[in-house]
Amino acid sequence: MNTSFTLSLSELDQNFLNTIKTIFKKEREIVISITSINDFELNKPETNENYIKRVLKAKKNLQAGKGLVFTETELNKLYSNTVQ
């Protein structure tokens, strides 16, 4: 069985845990995965016009030398520092 819950942090209480226990009462183990809702609007729907504008702006920035280049090691280090 697979179930997703979306809730605010304040709703994460004993009642919620009891609900999970009731739903999965026949299971011996479950997996709980937590994802933050804040995705910096990366999944926000956008019109084709806005998408094209964003791509053209990125292209213009790259042509102006405003791009970033990372080695795999540098990118991993940046990621590690950001996550912590």
Write the pLDDT tens digit of every residue in 16-41.
Answer: 999 889 988 888 888 888 877 776 67
**Helices and strands counted in the chain (H then E):** 3, 0
Q: Let me know if residue 57 belongs to a domain.
A: yes
Q: Let me know if residue 32 belongs to a domain.
A: yes
Q: SS3 of 18, please?
A: helix
Q: With a threshold of 0.75, does the pTM exceed it?
A: no
Tell me which DSSP letter residue 9 carries.
G
Domain count, the chain: 1
pLDDT digits (tens, 9 = 90+) for 36-74: 777 667 777 889 999 999 999 999 999 999 988 888 989
Contact 23, 3 (CB under 8 A): yes
Give the distance from CA 37 to its chain's centroid.
7
Give the pLDDT score at 48: 93
User: Is the pLDDT score of 82 beyond 70?
Assistant: yes
Residue 36 lies in domain = 9-83
Q: Let me know if residue 67 belongs to a domain.
A: yes
